[in-house]
Structure 1
Amino acid sequence: MTKRIALISDIHGNQTALEAVIDDIHKHPVDETWFLGDLLGPGPATDVLFDLLEQVNTTIFLNGNWDTDCFLPVLNAPETIDTTSPKWVYLGRIGQYIGEHITPEHLAIMQNAPIHAEIAQGPLNLSLNHNLPDVARGRDLEVAADTNAFAPLFTNESVDIAVYAHVHHQLLRYSTDDRLIINPGAVGEPYFNHPRLNADRRAQYAILTLDEQGMGDVEFRKVTYDIPTELARARVANLPYYELYQELLESGISHTNESDYLIQFDTDGHYTAELETFLNQQRQ
């Protein structure tokens, strides 16, 4: 029996991009959807994203590094957030925003979601990951990495196809022993290192077709969405660090790890003060 599966990842709070992808899926119907992590932040959408994923029968839900390392620590381990670091003020303030706008029911989903899953479909076994099976963050699996770097995706000899996300880049390549590696790209923050390719800001996902003989097809899709609409939603939501979100959507450039750049958006310390107040409340 043939099964069509949408592979979706790295929505990053971008409701408008996900809506466009959902519309495209309805035009190219799938049986189910596998979500590979990084649902929230730095964009403004929270609860509505869960509702949209339900529309396309999302049967696998993974967390990503923004979920496990940026958002959830603000709630679960506030003592680990370094408010002297502009990077962690940025990540923490976005995490605070998410915490203030997500329902307990959806928060519980995030608290319990894994970063890795394995599933059998017909004659094939698949490994599903945000990044590596045991680590949601890191740059080990950049698209130009040596083939040996991808070996950890194959957690045992029975895995035939490894699917991962995190690097925001569509990819199909093979392991050293000719097993398949797929990355569906990013819905909310597509990225190319090559500037002219990076100018293409369309949302990305993939459709994987599996049948009784194995993998029938993998189709990489790109979907246009209205960036001004998404930015207007961010304005209405009073999204922290709006200017960074605008630059990210329009250019694909992220400054998450650039403390010297980030500090200019908190010169009066208001984000730091807001975050410290929130963290103190979480500690009580």
Structure 2
Amino acid sequence: MRRRIAVFSDTHGNLSALQAMYQDSIKQHADEYWFVGDLLMPGPSVGAMWDIFQKMKPTVIVRGNWDDLVVRGARGMMDMERPSHIYFARLAQYVAEHTSSAVIDEIASWPLHVTKRVGALNFGISHNLPWLNMGQALFPTQETANFDKLFNIAGETVDVAIYAHVHHELLRYASDERVILNPGAVGEPFNHWQPLQRDLRAHYLMLEVDAIGLAETSFRHISYDREQEKKLAEKSDVPYKDLYQKMMITGRAYTHDDELLTAYNDKFNYADDYQKYAKKINS
């Protein structure tokens, strides 16, 4: 018994990165795919991203915090209290305008946590903590006690925990030496240490599981054409396209830069756009 599993997450609408990762996984003879959350936004390619995702037919899917933002925003449920909320809302409006309500409903149905047995091992998969897909409790530099919470699953013993969210690939141990894995980010790898931050290739994890256990744990970094991704944004009507193109150069997100987002929100009237959209769909 051998299963080769491509574990990926945090694609964030980056079509060029997802295409490269998918092609590499085929060359690596992936038998199945596990998706650990955050499929869309802020990238421009909604329909094409969904098409590739359907081709992959992931056998495990969990819902990330940006997936929740897509659903809330697309359904007109986002508030305008902070510049970042307007950012999420306007991007989710763009998603809704470029896909069907059935896709939004499907994303809303994804679970927060899945357990999956492969061979002798039971895997627990969640975007962040099993009951919470946001926050910084599992940032790689946090204490081990935080990571132990990944195994607090009622009724089941988990041998290997897999999470995403922090955009850092990781292999570490819980306090009882169970294994914790993070595949890193396909669309937005991140590291505060600049020499490591320069590696903006698409990051994902290839696992091979046999009858004994983990036969292979391979963190893969796949090159792709970032200029091509910038051109896709330029040709689209995606909001904040300048920021997305800038991210293709720096690798840094601007999600919580209130001053910068306020300037964009005011210049393009994004809050008014979203309020009109929300009023229309909820009337």
Q: 1:103 offset after TM fit, Å? A: 2.1
Partner of 1:75: 74
TM-score calculated relative to the size of structure 1: 0.95
Are 2:30 and 1:30 equivalent residues in the alignment? yes
Q: After superposition, what is the alpha-carbon deviation per residue over 1:61-86, rounded to whole angstroms, capped at 9, x for unaligned?
A: 22210111x221123452xx332522
Q: Is the 8 A contact 2:76 2:277 kept in 1?
A: no
Q: Take 2:121 and 2:73, find their aligned partners in 1: how far apart are those partners?
A: 39
What is the Cα deviation at residue 246 of structure 1? 1.6
Supply the AA of the counterpart residue of 1:10. Answer: D
CA distance in 2, matches of 1:255, 1:30: 34
Shift of 1:233: 0.8
Q: Which residue, 102, 107, 111 being the options, matches 1:105? A: 102
Q: Deviations 1:78-109 (Å, cap 9, x if unpaired)?
A: 2xx33252211111100100111112332232
Cα-to-partner distance string for 1:98-146 (whole Å, 9 max, x where unaligned): 1111123322321211121011111111100101111111011011111
Residue 236 of structure 1: how far off its partner (Å): 1.3
> Which amino acid letter does the alignment assign opposite residue 85 of structure 1?
R
C-alpha separation between the residues in 1 aligned to 2:98 and 2:54?
19
In the alignment, does 2:279 pair up with 1:273? no
Query: Can you list the C-alpha shifts for 1:231-278, whole angstroms capped at 9, x where unaligned?
Result: 111111111001111222211212212212211113335212211111
Determine what percentage of the aligned residue pairs are the same residue: 36
Matched, 1:122 2:119: yes
Matches of 1:272 and 1:146 in 2, distance apart? Answer: 39
Counterpart contact for 2:74–2:104, Cα < 8 Å: no
Which whole-Å CA distance do the structure 1 matches of 2:217 and 2:268 have between them? 48
CA change 1:268–1:53 in 2 (3 A) is: closer
Contact conserved, 1:75 with 1:282, CA < 8 A, in 2?
Answer: no
The equivalent residue for 2:8 is 8
d(CA) in 2 for partners of 1:146, 1:84: 32
1:193 and 1:268 mapped to 2: Cα distance?
30
Q: RMSD over aligned Cα, in angstroms?
A: 1.4
Deviation digits for residues 160-181 of structure 1 (CA, Å, limit 9, x no counterpart): 0000000111100000000000
Unaligned runs of 5+ in 1: none
Partner of 1:131: 128
- The code of the aligned residue for 1:272 comes to A
> Residues 73 and 56 from structure 1, CA distance in 2 versus in 1: closer, same or farther, beyond 3 angstroms?
closer
Q: Which residue of 1 aligns with 2:226?
A: 227
**Aligned pairs, number:** 281
Q: Provide the C-alpha distance between the structure 2 equivalents of 1:57 and 1:211, rounded to a whole number of angstroms.
A: 22
Structure 2: distance between partners of 1:3 and 1:177: 26
* Partners of 1:34 and 1:58 within 8 A in 2: yes
* Distance change (3 Å), C-alpha of 1:268 and 1:251: closer
Question: Distance between the aligned counterparts of 1:212 and 1:246, measured in 2?
Answer: 45
Q: Unaligned regions of 5+ residues in structure 2, if any? A: none
2:265 touches 2:271 (CA, 8 Å); kept in 1?
yes
Q: Any idea what the Cα deviations from partners look like across 1:194-234, whole Å, max 9, x if unmatched?
A: 01110111010011111111111110000001111111111
Q: 1:52 matched to which residue of 2?
A: 52
Question: Residue type of the partner of 2:101?
Answer: P
TM-score relative to the length of structure 2: 0.95
One-letter amino acid of the counterpart of residue 146, structure 1: E
**Runs of 4 or more consecutive aligned structure 1 residues displaced over 6 Å after TM superposition:** none
Contact kept in structure 2, 1:65 and 1:137, CA below 8 Å: yes
Give me the whole-angstrom Cα distance separating, in 1, the residues matched to 2:51 and 2:29.
18
1:209 — aligned with what?
Answer: 208
Within 1, Cα distance between the matches of 2:88 and 2:51?
A: 25
